[in-house]
Amino acid sequence: MPVKNFAGKQVKVDEEGFLLNPDDWTEEIASELASAEGIDELTDKHWKLLVFMREDYKENGKIPTIRRIKNNAGIPVKEIYSLFPDGPAKKAAKIAGLGKPEGCV
């Protein structure tokens, strides 16, 4: 399994760059992952979604779906897509330090 260096910390990742251990995640790592995914700056709206995803994952053991984010975090679907274009569930989960969501190819 590959190891990558993010924010001065070596972490294990899968073949697509998803962190294998969500506990390795830091805000600095999130910023570097976002940059690699074409998001230059994480705004307060990005952080709201990322924090919700991590908390929901800790509570439920599953990566939240777009529908769950919309319903429980109060973030409209259009906004989710504008914050994380080109595959928001996959991109947001990666930046949040979670695994690849079920159903994503």
Buried b / exposed e over 28-53, threshold 16 CB at 10 Å, is ebbbbbbeebebeebeeebeebbebb
* Identified catalytic residue from 20, 66, 73, 104: 104
- Backbone φ and ψ for 33, nearest 5 degrees, come out as -65, -40
Query: Which of 1, 5, 25 minimizes the C-alpha distance to 15?
Result: 1
Catalytic residue check, 104: yes
Residues noted as catalytic: 104
